[in-house]
Amino acid sequence: MPTGKRGDIDRLARLLDARFTIPGTGIKYGLDSIIGLVPGVGDAITGSMGAWIIYRARQEGASHFLISRMIMNLLTDTVLGSVPLLGDIFDFAFRSNMKNARLLQRHLDKHAEAEKKAS
């Protein structure tokens, strides 16, 4: 499991999107799906938690394009997730936080590889 910066981001993404499993099914869900059941504020709360991943990406020097892509993932999840019933189903499938964590991981890996080649 990743440690440090990467581990914190990965742990938050998993907590929000895939921390728990429905017994006997293998279907994973996270706090985004649970808290999102609270009308109105649930998706705003998990959206603000997901924004931390984007904030960290900015700190790590992610490009404007990557940040824009991550924002679109989060906005899609937050807006569509706020639709009663259909949004709750959408939250199970879309997993914007896991997507954003993977995007950031790829950025960090490329950056580390470029630094290794330069030295």
Q: What is the Cα–Cα distance from 77 to 87, expressed in whole angstroms?
A: 8
Confirm if 92 and 33 have CB atoms less than 8 A apart: yes
Confirm if 36 and 91 have CB atoms less than 8 A apart: yes
Mean pLDDT taken over the chain: 89
Structure pTM?
0.86
Q: Where are the domains of the chain?
A: 4-118
pLDDT of residue 1: 36
Higher pLDDT, 30 or 117: 30
Confirm if 10 and 2 have CB atoms less than 8 A apart: yes
